[in-house]
Amino acid sequence: MITQTDVATAATAPPRWQDLTGRILMAITAATTLVPFVEGVTRLGDLSDDLILTEYWRTCAYLVFAGMWALLAVAPRKQRGMWELLLLHKIAVTIQAAFIIDVPHAKLTVIADGFVSLMTIAAYLLCRGWHTWRRGALGPNDNR
C-alpha cells in the first residue's frame, strides 16, 4: 500500500545520479576526516600536560564529524538539522581562520575547512538536504 508520505517523498527525491553523487561526496568527506583523527592520535603522546586534554578533545571531534558525514551519506534526507549544523560549524571555522590568516595553521584550516564546506554544500544541493524539514520527511511518526 502506498501512503501519502511515500508519494510526497518520491515526488521530491532528487534524480538518482544526483543523490548518489551527493552521498559519495559525504562518504569521501567522512573518510578524509579520519586522516586528521589519526594524525592527532599520533601527536597526543608528545604533548605537554597543559595541552593534552584540549588536543584529545579536538582529536576525538574528528570522529564525531566523520560520523555525521557518514550518517548523511547513508540517509541524507533522514537527518533533520545535521546538514545545517555541519555547515554552520565548518563555515564559521573557515571564516575565523581567514580573519587570522597569519596565525600558524590558519591557511591550512581555510583550505581544509573551506574544502569540506564546499563538499557539504554541493552534497546538500545534490541530495536536497533541505527536504528533511518537510512534513512527513522522516516518516509517519515524525511529528511527535
**Which residues constitute the domain of residue 98?**
15-132
Q: How many domains does the chain have?
A: 1
Q: What is the pLDDT of residues 16-72, one digit of tens each?
A: 999 999 999 999 999 999 999 999 999 888 888 888 999 999 999 999 999 999 999
- Asked whether 83 and 72 are in contact (CB, 8 A), the reply is yes
Structural domain contains residue 46: yes
Residue 137 has pLDDT above 90, yes or no: no
Structural domain contains residue 74: yes
pTM of the model: 0.83
